A and B are shown apart, each in its own frame.
Chain A
């Protein structure tokens, strides 16, 4: 019977691949931002899946801390990217 850690880890790799594909193929900047965020979620999923040891053993807390930091940094970067896009579009109007 497949182990949930393996299943979710593979799903994380697939999600990261989807994110990379969309980031390259999509032309619109906000869609590329969404793609990068989905890539991030895929990477986090691999990290957390490898930290999971089943219902009997406590999970490894260090990847948890890494992913928590990663979520905050990803949102900060997304916010900066959106502000840059806004400034860019505004300068195109002028």
Chain B
């Protein structure tokens, strides 16, 4: 494909992104806005693939568009009828804020263009490439996430866990859906095993190709959400105790491995090169289960109904 033709593709995708973003932000009906946001997420995933970021394309499609879309649609369903049309700010405010934001955008664009001339692959990227063979994996993004900057990923799992704790302490879960109609239940019966296989594959392949714990965890969470939508009696999901244990397991195993590395080499999370590959797989395995469980519990939206019936509980 000649560079000229790719430019047309780029302009087309950029135009599509702008139209979808404006629709998602300013559509008259909130339901339309949420659906346009989901489509926007999918187009953004395409753009990530075009910009040679396939790991992020997978994550954006699964988490940014899929799971966030499920959360938003469930939130729309919770809302009281008629509370949808909160009035927008008066017209003069829209224009005034628009003018200020336009000025900021122009300023940032000028700064961005000014810096474009000095663009070069930074020294950090060269260090990553140089040390890739002792990192235990051959996918550079996985190496950065789970070896060189493992501390950040550990904290990211902790953030997810903290959000889960917040969601679970704010109120009861959404009431379960009725059993799905036979056709939908049939499709879900095929999709769940497919998602489990695809998720496990992504977990395994993340070491040497695009993939990894986050994408795999998102696919497994999607399988759980589908099972929930199909009716909880038909598709048996792990019980609340298991889900909560799994949600914590990711951070726990990650911390344990980090402490073991601390004892072994004196620096937290410094994985020894001989064991790095296996340790990364171990961490990713539990991280996948943890992410899947946390995302599913967050979709359910609160603490399970049995909490309120516990004796001695303040709400009882």
Chain A interfacial positions (CB closer than 8 Å to B): 1-11, 13-22, 24-28, 30-31, 33-35, 37-38, 41, 44-46, 48-53, 55, 57-62, 64-65, 67-69, 71-80, 82-87, 89-90, 93
Q: What is the bound-complex CA distance between A62 and B124, given in angstroms?
A: 8
Contact of B25 among A5, A31, A55, A89 (CB under 8 A): A31
**Interface contact A8-B75, CB-CB below 8 Å:** no
Residues of B within 8 A of A33 (CB): 72
Interface residues on B, range: 35 or more
Could you mark each residue 46-85 of chain B with 1 if its beta carbon is under 8 Å from any beta carbon of chain A, else 0? Answer: 0110111101100110011001100110011011100110
* Number of residue pairs A-B, CB distance < 8 angstroms: 245
Determine whether B89 belongs to the interface, using a CB cutoff of 8 Å to chain A: yes
Question: In the complex, how many angstroms separate the beta carbon of B220 from the nearest chain A beta carbon?
Answer: 14
Q: What DSSP secondary structure best describes chain B's contact surface?
A: helix
Q: What is the bound-complex CA distance between A10 and B11, given in angstroms?
A: 12
Q: Looking at the complex, which of B114-122, B176-184, B252-260 is the stretch in contact with chain A?
A: B114-122
Determine whether B14 belongs to the interface, using a CB cutoff of 8 Å to chain A: yes
Determine whether B30 belongs to the interface, using a CB cutoff of 8 Å to chain A: yes
Contact of B156 among A10, A16, A72, A78 (CB under 8 A): A72
Q: What is the bound-complex CA distance between A22 and B30, given in angstroms?
A: 13
Q: Looking at the complex, which of B136-144, B194-202, B237-245 is the stretch in contact with chain A?
A: B136-144
Residues of A within 8 A of B3 (CB): 1
Q: What DSSP secondary structure best describes chain A's contact surface?
A: helix
**Interface contact B25-A34, CB-CB below 8 Å:** yes
**Interface contact B171-A87, CB-CB below 8 Å:** yes
* A31 in contact with B55 given A68-B141, A79-B167, A80-B166 (CB within 8 Å): no
Question: In the complex, how many angstroms separate the beta carbon of B119 from the nearest chain A beta carbon?
Answer: 7
Given A76-B164, A87-B170, 10 new contacts (CB under 8 A)? A15-B18, A25-B97, A31-B30, A34-B24, A35-B25, A41-B41, A61-B144, A62-B149, A72-B160, A84-B170
Q: What is the bound-complex CA distance between A10 and B115, given in angstroms?
A: 12
**Interface contact B53-A64, CB-CB below 8 Å:** yes
Determine whether B298 belongs to the interface, using a CB cutoff of 8 Å to chain A: yes
**Interface contact B121-A48, CB-CB below 8 Å:** no
Q: What is the bound-complex CA distance between A76 and B163, given in angstroms?
A: 6
Residues of A within 8 A of B51 (CB): 4, 8, 48-49, 51-52, 59
Q: Which B131-151 residues sit within 8 Å CB-CB of chain A?
A: 140-141, 143-145, 149
**Interface contact A62-B128, CB-CB below 8 Å:** yes
Question: In the complex, how many angstroms separate the beta carbon of B157 from the nearest chain A beta carbon?
Answer: 9
**Chain A, Cβ-Cβ closest to B85:** A28
**Interface contact A26-B52, CB-CB below 8 Å:** no
Residues of A within 8 A of B67 (CB): 75
Among B101, B153, B159, chain A packs the most CB atoms within 10 A around the CB of B101
